[in-house]
Amino acid sequence: MEKIRLDKYLWSIRLFKTRSIASEAIDKGRVKMDGVAVKASRAVAIGDEYEVRTEARKWVIRVADLLSKRVQYSEAIKFYEDLTPEEELERISFQAASFHTGKRLSKVGRPTKKDRRDMDNFTTED
């Protein structure tokens, strides 16, 4: 039976971009098991449930199988079960829909090519 550290497991299933970020989140108490903060060196076992808070969302996962190396996302999702409550998923989808409108706010940032052409046409005389 192989032992895998919690920080390495969370990194390998792609909840965190780097292992150091995963370790830092664990140290700050953002990863809990049964409501109690855990250490990065904790050995992961199949069937363990963890509550993980990342910058983007809150996850509740159950370990389905152990994974020691980082693999592509389509493979990584097979090694855990996502038990995140429905309310959290709705909050994330609502937040994403309201934040990204697909339009550039007027007078914010650099002008687009079309804006630049319009300005050039306005200022040049024929």
**Can you give the pLDDT at residue 103?**
60
Structure confidence at residue 87 (pLDDT) = 85
Domains and CATH numbers, the chain: 1-89 (3.10.290.10)
List, for the chain, all residue ranges whose pLDDT scores fall below the cut of 70.
1, 94-108, 125-126
- Tell me 16's DSSP state: S
Q: Alpha helix (H) ranges present in 13-112?
A: 19-27, 73-76, 86-99
What SS3 string covers 88-123? Answer: HHHHHHHHHHHHCCCCCCCCCCCCCHHHHHHHHHHH
The pTM assigned to this predicted structure is: 0.71
Which pLDDT tens digit goes with each residue over 75-96?
999 999 999 888 888 877 766 5
